[in-house]
Amino acid sequence: MPETFYNQPSSVKKKLSIADIAEALGISKTSVSFILNGQAEEKRISKKLVDKVTSYVEQVGYKPNLLAKSLRTGKSNTIALMVEDISNPFFASIARLIEDRAYQHGYRITYCSTDNDTAKTKDMIDIFRDRHVDGYIIAPPEGVEEDISSLQKNDLPVVLFDRYLQSIETDVVVIDNKFSTYNATGLLAKNGYKQIAFVTFANEQIQMRDRKQGYLEAVAEKGLKPLVAEVNFSRNDDEITAPIFDFLSAHTELDAVVFGTNHVGACGLKAIQKLGLNIPDDLAVISFDDYDVFQLHSPPITAIAQPIEQIANQVITLLLNKLNGVTDIGSKQEIVVPTRLNVRGSSGAGR
Protein backbone atom coordinates (compact mmCIF):
# COMPACT_ATOMS: atom_id res chain seq x y z
CA MET A 1 0.00 0.00 0.00
CA PRO A 2 1.38 3.38 -0.99
CA GLU A 3 2.54 5.65 1.75
CA THR A 4 0.19 8.48 2.52
CA PHE A 5 1.21 11.78 1.03
CA TYR A 6 -0.30 15.12 1.61
CA ASN A 7 -0.51 17.78 -1.01
CA GLN A 8 2.08 19.85 0.73
CA PRO A 9 2.12 23.60 0.46
CA SER A 10 4.85 24.45 -1.98
CA SER A 11 6.95 25.81 0.82
CA VAL A 12 7.90 22.33 1.97
CA LYS A 13 7.51 20.43 -1.29
CA LYS A 14 10.01 17.62 -1.21
CA LYS A 15 11.84 16.65 -4.37
CA LEU A 16 10.17 13.54 -5.62
CA SER A 17 11.77 11.39 -8.26
CA ILE A 18 10.11 9.13 -10.73
CA ALA A 19 11.43 6.25 -8.67
CA ASP A 20 9.62 7.54 -5.61
CA ILE A 21 6.30 7.58 -7.34
CA ALA A 22 6.90 4.19 -8.95
CA GLU A 23 7.68 2.73 -5.55
CA ALA A 24 4.75 4.42 -3.87
CA LEU A 25 2.39 2.91 -6.42
CA GLY A 26 4.16 -0.43 -6.54
CA ILE A 27 4.87 -0.25 -10.26
CA SER A 28 7.92 0.30 -12.45
CA LYS A 29 9.59 3.57 -13.34
CA THR A 30 9.17 2.63 -16.97
CA SER A 31 5.41 2.72 -16.78
CA VAL A 32 5.41 6.02 -14.98
CA SER A 33 7.74 7.50 -17.53
CA PHE A 34 5.67 6.29 -20.47
CA ILE A 35 2.51 7.63 -18.94
CA LEU A 36 3.98 11.01 -18.12
CA ASN A 37 5.32 11.34 -21.62
CA GLY A 38 2.00 10.63 -23.25
CA GLN A 39 3.14 7.33 -24.64
CA ALA A 40 0.59 5.33 -22.66
CA GLU A 41 -1.51 4.32 -25.63
CA GLU A 42 1.41 3.56 -27.88
CA LYS A 43 2.96 1.42 -25.18
CA ARG A 44 -0.36 -0.24 -24.34
CA ILE A 45 -0.61 0.90 -20.74
CA SER A 46 -4.10 0.24 -19.36
CA LYS A 47 -6.37 3.16 -18.79
CA LYS A 48 -6.70 2.12 -15.18
CA LEU A 49 -2.99 2.45 -14.53
CA VAL A 50 -2.81 5.70 -16.44
CA ASP A 51 -5.49 7.18 -14.24
CA LYS A 52 -3.85 5.92 -11.11
CA VAL A 53 -0.52 7.44 -12.02
CA THR A 54 -1.80 10.75 -13.32
CA SER A 55 -3.99 11.35 -10.30
CA TYR A 56 -1.22 10.42 -7.92
CA VAL A 57 1.29 12.62 -9.70
CA GLU A 58 -1.19 15.45 -9.59
CA GLN A 59 -1.85 14.87 -5.93
CA VAL A 60 1.75 14.93 -4.80
CA GLY A 61 2.72 17.64 -7.24
CA TYR A 62 5.52 15.71 -8.88
CA LYS A 63 7.67 17.59 -11.35
CA PRO A 64 10.33 15.84 -13.38
CA ASN A 65 13.94 16.91 -13.03
CA LEU A 66 14.64 18.65 -16.27
CA LEU A 67 18.38 18.28 -15.92
CA ALA A 68 18.08 14.52 -15.86
CA LYS A 69 15.66 14.67 -18.75
CA SER A 70 18.03 16.83 -20.74
CA LEU A 71 20.97 14.61 -19.96
CA ARG A 72 19.16 11.60 -21.30
CA THR A 73 17.46 13.17 -24.28
CA GLY A 74 20.12 15.65 -25.24
CA LYS A 75 17.50 18.41 -25.49
CA SER A 76 17.53 21.34 -23.10
CA ASN A 77 14.60 23.33 -24.47
CA THR A 78 16.78 26.36 -24.33
CA ILE A 79 17.65 28.80 -27.07
CA ALA A 80 20.72 30.98 -26.91
CA LEU A 81 20.25 34.57 -27.96
CA MET A 82 23.44 36.44 -28.72
CA VAL A 83 23.11 40.11 -29.48
CA GLU A 84 25.52 42.97 -29.64
CA ASP A 85 24.17 44.65 -26.54
CA ILE A 86 20.99 43.77 -24.72
CA SER A 87 20.66 47.34 -23.47
CA ASN A 88 20.41 48.72 -26.98
CA PRO A 89 16.71 49.45 -27.60
CA PHE A 90 16.74 47.64 -30.91
CA PHE A 91 18.14 44.42 -29.49
CA ALA A 92 16.17 44.73 -26.29
CA SER A 93 12.94 44.93 -28.27
CA ILE A 94 13.91 42.01 -30.45
CA ALA A 95 14.84 40.06 -27.35
CA ARG A 96 11.50 40.74 -25.80
CA LEU A 97 9.56 39.51 -28.82
CA ILE A 98 11.73 36.46 -29.28
CA GLU A 99 11.36 35.65 -25.62
CA ASP A 100 7.58 35.68 -25.95
CA ARG A 101 7.45 33.45 -28.98
CA ALA A 102 10.00 31.06 -27.58
CA TYR A 103 8.14 30.62 -24.32
CA GLN A 104 4.95 29.94 -26.22
CA HIS A 105 6.68 27.04 -27.87
CA GLY A 106 8.17 25.65 -24.69
CA TYR A 107 11.62 27.11 -25.10
CA ARG A 108 13.49 29.29 -22.65
CA ILE A 109 15.95 31.97 -23.62
CA THR A 110 19.41 32.41 -22.29
CA TYR A 111 21.16 35.45 -23.60
CA CYS A 112 24.39 37.29 -23.75
CA SER A 113 25.77 40.52 -25.12
CA THR A 114 28.70 40.03 -27.46
CA ASP A 115 29.90 43.65 -27.65
CA ASN A 116 30.81 42.67 -31.22
CA ASP A 117 33.86 41.10 -29.67
CA THR A 118 34.98 38.10 -31.67
CA ALA A 119 36.85 36.34 -28.88
CA LYS A 120 34.06 36.90 -26.39
CA THR A 121 31.53 35.57 -28.87
CA LYS A 122 33.57 32.45 -29.54
CA ASP A 123 33.80 31.84 -25.82
CA MET A 124 30.09 32.28 -25.41
CA ILE A 125 29.29 29.89 -28.21
CA ASP A 126 31.46 27.32 -26.47
CA ILE A 127 29.76 27.93 -23.17
CA PHE A 128 26.31 27.57 -24.65
CA ARG A 129 27.44 24.45 -26.39
CA ASP A 130 28.63 22.99 -23.13
CA ARG A 131 25.20 23.70 -21.76
CA HIS A 132 23.58 21.90 -24.65
CA VAL A 133 21.33 24.67 -25.80
CA ASP A 134 19.09 23.45 -28.60
CA GLY A 135 19.42 26.38 -30.96
CA TYR A 136 21.18 29.66 -31.54
CA ILE A 137 19.96 33.07 -32.58
CA ILE A 138 22.94 35.25 -33.28
CA ALA A 139 23.69 38.76 -34.46
CA PRO A 140 27.27 37.78 -35.26
CA PRO A 141 30.40 39.90 -35.11
CA GLU A 142 33.06 39.35 -37.75
CA GLY A 143 35.35 36.38 -37.42
CA VAL A 144 33.05 33.72 -36.00
CA GLU A 145 32.41 31.96 -39.30
CA GLU A 146 34.17 28.77 -38.26
CA ASP A 147 32.42 28.52 -34.95
CA ILE A 148 29.05 28.90 -36.55
CA SER A 149 29.65 26.39 -39.27
CA SER A 150 30.95 24.05 -36.60
CA LEU A 151 27.63 24.36 -34.82
CA GLN A 152 25.83 23.47 -38.00
CA LYS A 153 28.08 20.54 -38.74
CA ASN A 154 27.16 19.23 -35.33
CA ASP A 155 23.48 19.48 -36.14
CA LEU A 156 22.82 22.52 -34.01
CA PRO A 157 20.36 24.91 -35.63
CA VAL A 158 21.49 28.48 -36.11
CA VAL A 159 19.63 31.52 -37.32
CA LEU A 160 21.48 34.77 -37.85
CA PHE A 161 19.90 38.18 -37.91
CA ASP A 162 20.76 41.84 -38.34
CA ARG A 163 23.85 40.80 -40.32
CA TYR A 164 25.15 37.77 -42.07
CA LEU A 165 28.52 36.24 -42.68
CA GLN A 166 29.50 35.87 -46.27
CA SER A 167 31.18 32.50 -46.10
CA ILE A 168 28.45 30.85 -44.07
CA GLU A 169 25.37 29.20 -45.41
CA THR A 170 22.56 29.44 -42.93
CA ASP A 171 19.17 30.97 -42.36
CA VAL A 172 19.38 34.68 -41.88
CA VAL A 173 16.93 37.53 -41.42
CA VAL A 174 18.10 40.92 -42.51
CA ILE A 175 16.81 44.20 -43.84
CA ASP A 176 17.77 45.89 -47.05
CA ASN A 177 20.43 48.10 -45.56
CA LYS A 178 21.79 49.44 -48.79
CA PHE A 179 18.46 50.51 -50.16
CA SER A 180 17.48 52.05 -46.82
CA THR A 181 20.38 54.50 -46.67
CA TYR A 182 20.24 55.02 -50.43
CA ASN A 183 16.65 56.00 -50.05
CA ALA A 184 17.25 58.20 -47.01
CA THR A 185 20.15 59.98 -48.63
CA GLY A 186 18.05 60.44 -51.74
CA LEU A 187 15.37 62.16 -49.69
CA LEU A 188 17.89 64.65 -48.35
CA ALA A 189 19.17 65.32 -51.85
CA LYS A 190 15.65 65.77 -53.11
CA ASN A 191 15.03 68.26 -50.33
CA GLY A 192 17.91 70.29 -51.65
CA TYR A 193 20.79 69.35 -49.36
CA LYS A 194 24.15 69.35 -51.07
CA GLN A 195 26.71 68.41 -48.46
CA ILE A 196 25.52 65.20 -46.91
CA ALA A 197 27.78 63.25 -44.54
CA PHE A 198 27.44 59.70 -43.29
CA VAL A 199 28.43 59.02 -39.69
CA THR A 200 28.76 55.47 -38.48
CA PHE A 201 30.69 53.08 -36.26
CA ALA A 202 34.05 51.92 -37.49
CA ASN A 203 33.55 48.28 -38.25
CA GLU A 204 33.43 46.00 -41.20
CA GLN A 205 30.21 44.24 -40.42
CA ILE A 206 28.30 43.56 -43.52
CA GLN A 207 25.22 45.49 -42.54
CA MET A 208 27.33 48.54 -41.81
CA ARG A 209 29.16 48.21 -45.11
CA ASP A 210 25.85 48.03 -46.91
CA ARG A 211 24.53 51.09 -45.16
CA LYS A 212 27.60 53.02 -46.12
CA GLN A 213 27.39 51.68 -49.64
CA GLY A 214 23.79 52.82 -50.00
CA TYR A 215 24.80 56.30 -48.94
CA LEU A 216 27.77 56.34 -51.31
CA GLU A 217 25.68 55.24 -54.27
CA ALA A 218 23.08 57.88 -53.57
CA VAL A 219 25.54 60.77 -53.34
CA ALA A 220 27.37 59.49 -56.43
CA GLU A 221 24.14 59.36 -58.36
CA LYS A 222 23.29 62.91 -57.40
CA GLY A 223 26.76 64.13 -58.20
CA LEU A 224 27.44 65.13 -54.59
CA LYS A 225 30.64 64.83 -52.64
CA PRO A 226 30.75 61.89 -50.24
CA LEU A 227 32.00 62.38 -46.70
CA VAL A 228 32.09 59.50 -44.24
CA ALA A 229 33.03 59.65 -40.55
CA GLU A 230 33.66 56.47 -38.65
CA VAL A 231 33.81 56.63 -34.89
CA ASN A 232 35.01 53.88 -32.61
CA PHE A 233 32.52 52.11 -30.44
CA SER A 234 32.71 52.71 -26.72
CA ARG A 235 30.55 51.77 -23.80
CA ASN A 236 30.85 55.35 -22.66
CA ASP A 237 28.55 57.56 -24.71
CA ASP A 238 30.76 60.58 -24.20
CA GLU A 239 33.50 58.87 -26.16
CA ILE A 240 31.12 58.54 -29.07
CA THR A 241 29.66 62.00 -28.83
CA ALA A 242 33.05 63.73 -28.71
CA PRO A 243 34.42 62.55 -32.07
CA ILE A 244 31.12 63.33 -33.75
CA PHE A 245 31.26 66.79 -32.22
CA ASP A 246 34.78 67.20 -33.56
CA PHE A 247 33.81 65.95 -36.98
CA LEU A 248 30.86 68.27 -37.27
CA SER A 249 32.91 71.22 -36.02
CA ALA A 250 35.56 70.52 -38.61
CA HIS A 251 33.04 70.33 -41.43
CA THR A 252 30.92 73.43 -41.20
CA GLU A 253 30.14 73.09 -44.89
CA LEU A 254 27.82 70.18 -44.15
CA ASP A 255 24.12 70.76 -44.44
CA ALA A 256 22.88 67.24 -43.73
CA VAL A 257 23.96 64.06 -42.02
CA VAL A 258 22.84 60.44 -42.04
CA PHE A 259 23.60 58.42 -38.91
CA GLY A 260 24.29 54.72 -39.35
CA THR A 261 22.68 53.36 -36.16
CA ASN A 262 20.34 54.44 -33.41
CA HIS A 263 23.25 54.72 -31.02
CA VAL A 264 25.32 56.88 -33.33
CA GLY A 265 22.18 58.86 -34.01
CA ALA A 266 21.49 59.55 -30.35
CA CYS A 267 25.07 60.55 -29.69
CA GLY A 268 25.06 62.61 -32.86
CA LEU A 269 22.04 64.52 -31.61
CA LYS A 270 23.89 65.25 -28.39
CA ALA A 271 26.79 66.59 -30.39
CA ILE A 272 24.47 68.72 -32.48
CA GLN A 273 22.83 70.03 -29.34
CA LYS A 274 26.20 70.99 -27.93
CA LEU A 275 27.12 72.74 -31.16
CA GLY A 276 23.89 74.66 -30.93
CA LEU A 277 22.96 73.78 -34.48
CA ASN A 278 19.39 74.06 -35.58
CA ILE A 279 17.77 71.01 -37.17
CA PRO A 280 16.99 71.03 -40.06
CA ASP A 281 17.99 74.59 -40.97
CA ASP A 282 21.65 74.34 -40.05
CA LEU A 283 21.82 70.62 -40.44
CA ALA A 284 19.25 68.10 -41.62
CA VAL A 285 19.33 64.72 -39.93
CA ILE A 286 18.23 61.19 -40.69
CA SER A 287 19.15 58.22 -38.54
CA PHE A 288 19.06 54.49 -38.97
CA ASP A 289 16.75 52.69 -36.52
CA ASP A 290 13.72 54.36 -35.08
CA TYR A 291 12.84 54.74 -31.44
CA ASP A 292 11.41 56.99 -28.77
CA VAL A 293 14.31 59.39 -28.82
CA PHE A 294 13.79 60.22 -32.48
CA GLN A 295 10.03 60.46 -32.29
CA LEU A 296 10.12 62.78 -29.30
CA HIS A 297 12.97 64.97 -30.42
CA SER A 298 12.22 68.54 -31.44
CA PRO A 299 12.04 68.56 -34.31
CA PRO A 300 11.22 64.88 -34.62
CA ILE A 301 13.95 62.97 -36.39
CA THR A 302 13.37 61.24 -39.69
CA ALA A 303 14.43 57.64 -39.17
CA ILE A 304 14.75 54.34 -40.96
CA ALA A 305 12.54 52.01 -38.94
CA GLN A 306 13.34 48.35 -38.84
CA PRO A 307 10.23 46.17 -38.64
CA ILE A 308 11.12 44.70 -35.28
CA GLU A 309 8.10 42.43 -34.94
CA GLN A 310 8.57 40.99 -38.40
CA ILE A 311 12.24 40.37 -37.77
CA ALA A 312 11.57 38.62 -34.47
CA ASN A 313 8.80 36.53 -35.97
CA GLN A 314 10.84 35.45 -38.95
CA VAL A 315 13.81 34.60 -36.78
CA ILE A 316 11.86 32.46 -34.37
CA THR A 317 9.90 30.78 -37.15
CA LEU A 318 13.06 29.81 -38.97
CA LEU A 319 14.58 28.46 -35.80
CA LEU A 320 11.52 26.51 -34.72
CA ASN A 321 11.30 24.99 -38.17
CA LYS A 322 14.82 23.73 -37.81
CA LEU A 323 14.25 22.54 -34.26
CA ASN A 324 11.15 20.64 -35.33
CA GLY A 325 12.86 19.16 -38.31
CA VAL A 326 10.58 20.99 -40.74
CA THR A 327 13.60 22.40 -42.48
CA ASP A 328 17.11 21.08 -42.66
CA ILE A 329 19.83 22.24 -40.26
CA GLY A 330 21.80 23.37 -43.26
CA SER A 331 18.90 25.34 -44.65
CA LYS A 332 19.95 28.61 -46.15
CA GLN A 333 17.04 30.97 -46.41
CA GLU A 334 17.83 34.62 -46.62
CA ILE A 335 14.84 36.64 -45.60
CA VAL A 336 14.97 40.32 -46.33
CA VAL A 337 12.32 42.37 -44.61
CA PRO A 338 11.55 45.90 -45.73
CA THR A 339 12.34 48.96 -43.67
CA ARG A 340 10.22 52.07 -43.51
CA LEU A 341 11.50 55.59 -43.79
CA ASN A 342 9.56 57.53 -41.19
CA VAL A 343 9.77 61.03 -42.57
CA ARG A 344 9.63 63.73 -39.93
CA GLY A 345 10.73 67.31 -39.60
CA SER A 346 14.46 66.75 -39.28
CA SER A 347 14.95 65.96 -42.96
CA GLY A 348 13.65 69.33 -44.11
CA ALA A 349 10.33 68.95 -45.92
CA GLY A 350 10.98 70.18 -49.45
CA ARG A 351 12.68 73.42 -48.64
Q: Which residues bind to a copy of itself, rule: CB under 8 A?
A: 9-13, 63-68, 70-71, 76, 78, 85-89, 92-93, 95-96, 99-100, 103, 108-113, 126-127, 129-132, 146-147, 149-150, 153-154, 266, 269-270, 273, 292-293, 295-298
Ramachandran angles phi, psi of 11, nearest 5°:
-65, -25
Among 49, 97, 224, 343, indicate the residue that binds DNA (CB under 7 A): 49
28 binds DNA (CB under 7 A): yes
308-327 residues labelled b (16+ CB within 10 A) or e (exposed) = beebbbbbbbbbbbbbeeeb
Residue 19 interacts with DNA (CB under 7 A): yes or no: yes
d(CA 238, CA 74): 46
Phi, psi of 130 (to 5 degrees): -55, -35
**What is the torsion angle, in degrees rounded to the nearest 10, for the CA atoms of residue 13, residue 14, residue 15 and residue 20?**
-120
Q: Judged by CB under 7 A, which of 5, 29, 169, 227 binds DNA?
A: 29
For DNA, the closer of residues 63 and 351 by Cβ is 63
- State which of residues 1, 10, 12, 72 lies at the interface with DNA (CB under 7 A): 72
**Residue whose C-alpha is closest to residue 207's, from 169, 178, 186, 182:** 178
CB burial of 199-238 (b: ≥16 within 10 Å; e: otherwise) equals: bbbebebbbbebbbebbbbbbeeeebeebebbbebeeeee
Q: Report in angstroms how near the CB of residue 315 gets to a copy of itself at its nearest.
A: 15
SS3 of residue 235 by DSSP? coil
232 binds DNA (CB under 7 A): no
Rounded least distance, CB 158 to DNA, Å:
21
Cα-based distances in Å from 310 to 107, 171, 197, 229, 330: 19, 15, 30, 31, 23
Q: Which span (45-53, 179-187, 241-249, 332-340) binds DNA, by CB under 7 A?
A: 45-53
Q: Which of a copy of itself, DNA, none does residue 132 bind to, with CB < 5 to 8 Å depending on kind?
A: a copy of itself
Q: Is 23 in the site for DNA (CB under 7 A)?
A: no
| Three-class DSSP category at 254 | coil
Give yes or no for residue 14 binding DNA (CB under 7 A).
no
Q: Are 221 and 190 in contact (CB under 8 A)?
A: no
Q: Minimum Å distance from CB 88 to a copy of itself?
A: 8
- Which is closer to DNA, CB of 23 or CB of 85? 23
Choose the one of DNA, a copy of itself, none that binds residue 103, judging by a C-beta under 5 to 8 angstroms depending on kind.
a copy of itself
Q: What do you get for the CA distance between the two ends of the chain, in Å? A: 89
Catalog residues that contact DNA under the rule CB under 7 A. Answer: 15-19, 26-31, 33-34, 36-37, 43-46, 48-49, 63-65, 67-69, 71-73
